[in-house]
Structure 1
Amino acid sequence: MGVLEVGWDQVFAWRAHRQFLTAPTAAGPVAIAERLAGLQAQVASAAETAAAVRGSDPQPEAVTAALTSGTLVKTWAMRGTLHAMTPEHAAAALSLIGSARTWEKPSWQKTFGATPDQISALVTAVSEILAEQVLTRDELVDAVLAEPGFAHLGAQLRSGWGAVLKPLAWQGALCHGPARGTKITFTAPANQIPGWTGLPDPDTAAPTLIAAYLGAYGPAKPDTFDAWLSRNNLRKTVVRRWFADLGDTLTEVSVDGTTGWIRAEHADDLAAATLDGAIHLLGPFDQYVLGPGTGDTALLPTEHRAKVSRAAGWISPLVLVDGRIAGTWEQVDTEIVVSTFDARPLPKRALAAAVERLAVATGAPGLTGRLA
């Protein structure tokens, strides 16, 4: 088929439906994480909220339970941040991110003090240490520092940001294990994930992750996919080849003159999608904005970006009106205080329905809402 021409209203209506916002699912957090190509889990409660607002029967700590069982895995993935992902999507994402070899760049070595050879040695050492056990960060670091050649990396290994540990995750040497009280743990993926088969070749992994991404956040360009995945650290020619190799499984789409791609199987649904006027309240670090990125001006006007993308990487809770980000909210005691970008009034019934949905999702009955 030729180029499909649609407007942003259709795109946002389609995304809201695909992301289980207009049609919450009973399938549970694993299906939700699969549809969204991962739940941002840098803040654990944010992942729980993201799953809960998309479920028709949300359960407390559902994401945590899936992580404990190994049906989801928590690891440093997209953009170097922690995500809860299905094992298949995690393996694909780690393969592609690792193929960028960011730890071999001089700027990375200068900042974090580890050479490529030392990272390679760390991969071997940590793989052996975690082969049959689960360790806290301190226990893992103590075991690593007992090996020769790593003493100067102690401070970096203990850092909460995990900069030196991330390349190990991207090469499949470790992932997060079940929490031990308030302490995080690490283990080998094979210990945590039933049937783990390791990381696929990047060319094998690319179709899996691109299809997952476009199935939630399309239409999108290769550069947008790479920005979501690696902050554009992959070679542009390689990413474009991955898209091209998908051939007829993708359809080219023009959205008010902006070209992108979507899975061909979704083209008819995108063309027919319509907005329903509903208001949705999403939690912090929600994939609805992280997928396309806070720089997407059709979704989030430039003049309001700083209200959503805040200091220290914080992403505010979102107010969606007709699929667009129209404001932010915060909880003050039992009240949801909504701040819209243009101070426009919101329909009282629609806002009350959104607050009730949030209350059910988060297990906080009695919430009320008001405009700031």
Structure 2
Amino acid sequence: MTITWDQVRAWRLRRQFLEPRTDAPGAEVVSRLCGAQAQVKSSAALTALLRQAEPRPEDVEGGLADGVLLKTWAMRGTLHLLKGDEAGDFLSLAASARTWHSPPWQREFGATPAEVEALVDAVSSALDGRVLTRDELVAAVAADAGLAKLEARLRSGWGALLKPLAWQGALCHGPSRGAKVTFARPGDLAPGWRGVPDPDEAAPRAIAAYLGAHGPATPDAFNAWLMRGALRKTPLRRWFADMGDRLTKVDVEGEEAFALSEHVDELATAEPSRSVRLLGAFDQYVLGPGTNDPRVLAPEHRARVSRAAGWIAPVVVVGGRVTGVWEQVDDAVVVSMFPGARKPSMSALRAEAGHLAKARGTDVPEVRVS
């Protein structure tokens, strides 16, 4: 079956609750997107709120408070909000890459695989039924003479040594204690937590979830999204092959990719979109396929979106393509279209600015196009 990239983009907009927007709870939006990147907490909330027809800011905070949502290091080693009953699948596949077994990782972060394994046990024990700040957790772990040498590394704000522990389900972020980050065990926060399953069990669910929002896609695209290509190729290919007739190969303008079989008819009948959307920083519409995907973001404009220190800029999306960026400057939303991109109508941009204001609980800003 042959489909066009215009159809793919239109289908993704619909599947990701961007056209039309949804009445679904924030946690269900996060679920559909396979998480919301939460390096910046407000960006994760905005990812969900901008997809709701009537934004409900209490949805995300309430989801975290009752454990429906978890905040933890997940895809690409970045913080994400994930559904508590789904998080284990993505963590399992991230852990399967065993990045901490590579010599470069060990040289960079100063821990052996055996020490990481010991940390998993020590952290799980320290957090059993407790919520601890980083200082409290590190103090408990460093009391073990065999792990004391890792104390300085564990205190690093980047959390490099904590990420493999999160992938193995030993910890996640807990409720903030003032300005201090806390950690807990996922099972102590999320009633739906099912643990970290075997990768072969987790893979069909994780792949189906990804393709259901960001497909059609190749195994390499899934690998790049999940772990920047660090998954081993042999099990990755097997996971896709083992899904059998649940997946269908489609031809997208000469490129072969996989789609969920249940979505093929919808893809084939999708009508190209002309919608205009203002999306926040670190939005999953961009991160799902990745900023290297030229069908979403032209390579010559990538540096305008993917910036220094891993920052992903707020974007203007027209017809499913990223055609500009925007920023808040005082009381105005300033839109900067890429050279050669067609400027959306001011009425469409003002409508989007109005929805942005609803999501953020602010006055409607002026819109300027630079």
The two structures have a TM-score, normalised by structure 2, of: 0.97
Matched-pair contact (CA < 8 Å) for 2:353–2:364: no
Following the alignment from structure 1 to structure 2, what is the Cα–Cα distance between the partners of residues 12 and 140?
45
Q: Is 2:117 the counterpart of 1:120?
A: yes
Matched-pair contact (CA < 8 Å) for 2:69–2:81: yes
Cα deviation for residue 125 of structure 1 reads: 0.7
Deviations 1:149-183 (A, max 9, x none): 12221221011110001111111111111111221
% identical equivalent positions? 57
1:90 aligns with 87
Runs of 4 or more above 3 Å deviation:
none
Following the alignment from structure 2 to structure 1, what is the Cα–Cα distance between the partners of residues 218 and 85?
23
SS of the aligned residue for 1:183 comes to: coil
Matched-pair contact (CA < 8 Å) for 1:299–1:324: yes
Following the alignment from structure 2 to structure 1, what is the Cα–Cα distance between the partners of residues 193 and 10?
36
SS of the aligned residue for 1:219 comes to: coil
The verdict on how the C-alpha distance between 1:346 and 1:159 changes in structure 2, with shifts beyond 3 A counting, is same
**Counterpart of 1:346 in structure 2: which amino acid?**
P
Matched-pair contact (CA < 8 Å) for 2:84–2:191: no
Pick the aligned partner of 2:362 from 354, 361, 364: 364
Matched-pair contact (CA < 8 Å) for 2:6–2:273: no
**Counterpart of 1:129 in structure 2: which amino acid?**
A
**Equivalences for residues 177-326 of structure 1 within 5 A:** 177-326=174-323
- Structure 1 stretches of 5 or more lacking a match? none
SS of the aligned residue for 1:226 comes to: helix
Q: Is 2:46 the counterpart of 1:49?
A: yes
The verdict on how the C-alpha distance between 1:190 and 1:41 changes in structure 2, with shifts beyond 3 A counting, is same
Pick the aligned partner of 1:70 from 61, 64, 67: 67
Matched-pair contact (CA < 8 Å) for 2:71–2:79: yes
**Counterpart of 1:234 in structure 2: which amino acid?**
L
Cα deviation for residue 249 of structure 1 reads: 0.8
Pick the aligned partner of 2:159 from 157, 162, 168: 162
Cα deviation for residue 89 of structure 1 reads: 2.5
Cα deviation for residue 88 of structure 1 reads: 3.1
SS of the aligned residue for 1:281 comes to: strand
Cα deviation for residue 363 of structure 1 reads: 1.4
**Counterpart of 1:345 in structure 2: which amino acid?**
K
Following the alignment from structure 1 to structure 2, what is the Cα–Cα distance between the partners of residues 155 and 145?
10
Following the alignment from structure 1 to structure 2, what is the Cα–Cα distance between the partners of residues 21 and 53?
8
Following the alignment from structure 1 to structure 2, what is the Cα–Cα distance between the partners of residues 185 and 283?
26
Matched-pair contact (CA < 8 Å) for 2:84–2:192: no
1:352 aligns with 350
2:29 aligns with 32
**Equivalences for residues 93-172 of structure 1 within 5 A:** 93-172=90-169
Following the alignment from structure 1 to structure 2, what is the Cα–Cα distance between the partners of residues 196 and 298?
36
**Counterpart of 1:20 in structure 2: which amino acid?**
F
Following the alignment from structure 1 to structure 2, what is the Cα–Cα distance between the partners of residues 262 and 33?
20
Matched-pair contact (CA < 8 Å) for 1:129–1:143: yes
Following the alignment from structure 1 to structure 2, what is the Cα–Cα distance between the partners of residues 213 and 309?
21
Matched-pair contact (CA < 8 Å) for 1:28–1:58: no
SS of the aligned residue for 2:325 comes to: strand
Following the alignment from structure 1 to structure 2, what is the Cα–Cα distance between the partners of residues 61 and 330?
24
Cα deviation for residue 195 of structure 1 reads: 4.0
**Counterpart of 1:312 in structure 2: which amino acid?**
A
- Structure 2 stretches of 5 or more lacking a match? none
SS of the aligned residue for 1:180 comes to: coil
Following the alignment from structure 1 to structure 2, what is the Cα–Cα distance between the partners of residues 197 and 211?
18
1:12 aligns with 9
Cα deviation for residue 65 of structure 1 reads: 2.0
**Counterpart of 1:209 in structure 2: which amino acid?**
A
Following the alignment from structure 1 to structure 2, what is the Cα–Cα distance between the partners of residues 292 and 17?
15
Following the alignment from structure 1 to structure 2, what is the Cα–Cα distance between the partners of residues 94 and 71?
16
SS of the aligned residue for 1:50 comes to: helix
SS of the aligned residue for 2:323 comes to: strand
**Equivalences for residues 326-345 of structure 1 within 5 A:** 326-342=323-339, 344-345=342-343
The two structures have a TM-score, normalised by structure 1, of: 0.97
Cα deviation for residue 251 of structure 1 reads: 1.3
After superposition, the CA RMSD in angstroms is 1.1
Give the total of aligned pairs: 369
Following the alignment from structure 1 to structure 2, what is the Cα–Cα distance between the partners of residues 322 and 366?
24
Deviations 1:62-113 (A, max 9, x none): 3222112100111100000000001233100111111111111111110000
Cα deviation for residue 145 of structure 1 reads: 1.0
Following the alignment from structure 2 to structure 1, what is the Cα–Cα distance between the partners of residues 273 and 104?
48
Following the alignment from structure 1 to structure 2, what is the Cα–Cα distance between the partners of residues 333 and 299?
29
Following the alignment from structure 2 to structure 1, what is the Cα–Cα distance between the partners of residues 194 and 276?
42
Moved more, 337-346 or 198-207: 337-346
SS of the aligned residue for 2:107 comes to: helix
